[in-house]
Amino acid sequence: MDEQTRLMHSHTGVGMAGHPGLPQHMQEGTGGTDGDGRKQDIGDILQQIMTITDQSLDEAQARKHALNCHRMKPALFNVLCEIKEKTVLSIRGTQEDEPPDPQLMRLDNMLLAEGVSGPEKGGGSAAAAAAAAASGGAGPDNSAEHSDYRTKLTQIRQIYHTELEKYEQACNEFTTHVMNLLREQSRTRPISPKEIERMVNIIHRKFSSIQMQLKQSTCEAVMILRSRFLDARRKRRNFNKQATEILNEYFYSHLSNPYPSEEAKEELAKKCAITVAQVSNWFGNKRIRYKKNIGKFQEEANMYAARTAVNAANASSHGSQANSPSTPNSAGSAGSFNMSNSGDLFMSVQSLNGDSYQGAQVGANVQSQVDTLRHVISQTGGYSEGLTANQMYSPQGINANGGWPDAPTPSSVTSPTEGPGSVHSDTSN
């Protein structure tokens, strides 16, 4: 320590006064091969650098300027730069080119798909709607839910964009700041433009990693929002009365084969303002629950059977509407009601009710009416309510092991009704 101070002091004031106070002889022999002199020269400069910290700010500034103007400075600077480049670049050169982060790409894609990033307003909401539709199915179903969802999504998008903007701005500010600083320092420090560029790169990388975090959390938020709003399980809405009515009508009028085709499902979906998937769900649930406890559904079955029967009757014969059904929706959801042979049908049904039924005689589309009317008949047959009703009729097509037999083909109506005796007593539950 002592030594240093002494050293510094010994050199204080050397060549201070405004101008390079360096030995005169050096000024001449620039390009010369004056090795000794140059060494001396360099030594001087280094000494001055060493002592610069020991001086007042003004002094230091002045000296800095003096050093800057020194004729050896560019050469020295270049050398230093070269050395630095060699070492630093060799260290960092390996991790220079990084491939586009797959994670980041995934996030970007998702945000784009979700309508968070990408174009503003119009495109965003459109993308959101598309996403919603993709998950939900048909477009114009429950718009109330979706508007709520969309507002929330817009909020997220706004936050995302403002944050992104902030980051971007901060990044730019910081970058320019650092660049200015480095440029400023590059006059006294060996900093090459390449290095500045690398610095900028590093800064950008750091900021982009922050951005990735933002994107990630945005993605999470969107996911949560999605699961909260579009996962209907969370916010389940019961179908409205009309929808269930329509569905039940179809179900009970196709009780022998309650498996709507794809087209039928679409039709029902349209009528009920729900998605095809929901129709499928409904029928799945209905089938299983009906089968599980037929007794419980007896009343319902009779009701719908009666209604459709009435409608059918009204439609076919005298159009007198005694008591109009509560629902304006026509019962003939399937639309293929052919009542021309209603008489025959009725006969068949009667015989069916009487236990011997050759289903092969009846066409499949008629089959539904068989179901319908069968219910009516069994109802008008006047079984006492409740318990015994369970035994009154066993829905055709449901065998003891459960499940409707596969009888979608019109050619042969499968499963003649089991004997009246065979009851689903096991479903007592």
Partner DNA sequence: CATAATGATTGGTG
Partner DNA sequence: CACCAATCATTATG
Beta-carbon contacts of residue 105 (< 8 Å; ≥ 6 apart): none
Judge whether 116 and 156 are in contact, CB under 8 Å.
yes
**Span of 97-105, 213-221, 276-284, 377-385 interacting with DNA by CB under 7 A:** 276-284
Integer Cα distance of 283 and 277 in angstroms: 10
Q: Does position 334 bind DNA by CB under 7 A?
A: no
Of 54 and 145, the one with the shorter C-beta distance to DNA is 145
Would you give the distance in Å from CA 79 to the centre of its chain?
56
CB of 235 to DNA, least distance (A): 4
Span from 25-33, 168-176, 207-215, 278-286 in contact with DNA (CB under 7 A): 278-286
- HSE of 108, CA atoms in CB hemisphere, 13 A: 9
* Nearest distance from C-beta of residue 402 to DNA, angstroms: 5
User: Nearest-5° angle of CA 429, CA 416, CA 428?
Assistant: 5
How near is the Cβ of 231 to DNA at its closest, in Å?
Answer: 5
Task: Specify the residue, 84 or 296, whose C-beta has the smaller distance to DNA.
Answer: 296
For residues 391 and 422, is the Cβ–Cβ distance under 8 A? no
C-alpha neighbours within 13 Å on the C-beta side of residue 250: 28
Q: Which one of residues 72, 277, 303, 313 is an interface residue with DNA (CB under 7 A)?
A: 277
Q: Which stretch binds DNA (CB under 7 A): 57-65, 146-154, 201-209, 397-405?
A: 397-405
Which residue, 177 or 292, is less far from DNA as judged by CB? 292
Any contact of residue 233 with DNA (CB under 7 A)? yes
Q: In the structure encoding, which two tokens stand for residue 115, read together?
A: 């309508």
Give the Cα separation of 218 and 135 in Å (integer): 19
Q: Which listed residue (16, 216, 296, 415) binds DNA by CB under 7 A?
A: 296
Helix (H/G/I), strand (E/B), else coil: 277: helix
CB of 122 to DNA, least distance (A): 28
Range in contact with DNA (rule: CB under 7 A) among 67-75, 218-226, 285-293, 340-348: 285-293
DSSP track, 89-116:
IHHHGGGS--PPPHHHHHHHHHHHHHTS
Decide: 348 and 370 in contact? Cβ < 8 Å: yes
Task: For residue 6, give the 3-state DSSP assignment.
Answer: helix
Is residue 287 near DNA by the rule CB under 7 A?
yes
Question: Which of 167, 174, 207, 259: binder of DNA (CB under 7 A)?
Answer: 259
Q: Which of 363, 393, 365, 362 is nearest to 377 (CA)?
A: 393
Q: Contact with DNA (CB under 7 A): which of 289, 321, 358, 412?
A: 289
x/- mask, DNA, residues 185-224, rule CB under 7 A, reads: ----------------------------------------
Distance CA 262, CA 264 (A): 5
**Binding flag, residue 256, DNA (CB under 7 A):** no
Binding flag, residue 232, DNA (CB under 7 A)? yes
Based on the shown chain and the rule CB under 7 A, indicate whether residue 47 belongs to the binding site for DNA: no
Q: Where on the chain is the footprint of DNA (CB under 7 A)? A: 231-239, 244, 259, 262, 274, 277-278, 280-285, 287-289, 291-292, 296, 402-404
